[in-house]
Amino acid sequence: MKILAISGSARKASTNTALLRAMKDIAPSSIEFSVFDQINSFPVFSPDDEGEKTPSIVEDFIKSFSDADGIIISSPEYIRCIPGGLKNAIDWMVSRTEIIDKPIVLVHASSRGDDMLVSLRRVLSTVSSNFFEDLFLRFSLLSKSPEQIFEILHTEEYKSQITPFLLSFVSEIQTYKDQLE
């Protein structure tokens, strides 16, 4: 099962990216888990730049998105909203078909950010018919370094939450795939 984890942060030492990288390390071997952390490299979306004019970094991202069986998104809150880079990445896919039925879940690396989560949930439930809003994982990792996050999440207390979350998501994805057959 291929999972693409998308960090909504443009920061190199991002808490959300560190969460996703730790999840990748913890994921069962049956899950091919990759982390995308380059949304800060995308040009601003314009319908005039779609089709043959789509930038190669966006095309590569959309291919990775399309090839994945499921998507995990982790994002910070910027001024009570979805960060511009993440919203821009979603905008690049809105007129395409790759996102429509893609299974998507959220994880969150902070005890704050509820306004952003409400907004992101609204956007994702609009663009994907398989956004699993109720399958959600949240940790309070604010002010921790990526190295600290890696150590914290590798304790049994956290691994015992991450592994079942991932397996539940894989189960939801498999149920969706079975319905297509």
C-alpha dist (Å) from residue 32 to 69, 114, 156: 10, 29, 22
Cα atoms in the Cβ-side hemisphere of radius 13 Å centred on 41? 12
- Interatomic CA distance for residues 104 and 3, integer angstroms: 10
Report d(CA 34, CA 20) in Å as an integer: 9
Domains and CATH numbers, the chain: 2-180 (3.40.50.360)
Q: State the DSSP code for 11.
A: -
| Low pLDDT (below 70) residues in the chain | none
Q: List the one residue out of 58, 118, 64 whose CA is nearest residue 91.
A: 58
Residue 181, pLDDT score: 83
Geometric angle at alpha carbon 95, from 34 and 105, rounded to 5°: 35
- pLDDT at site 164: 98
Q: If you count them, how many residues does the chain have?
A: 181
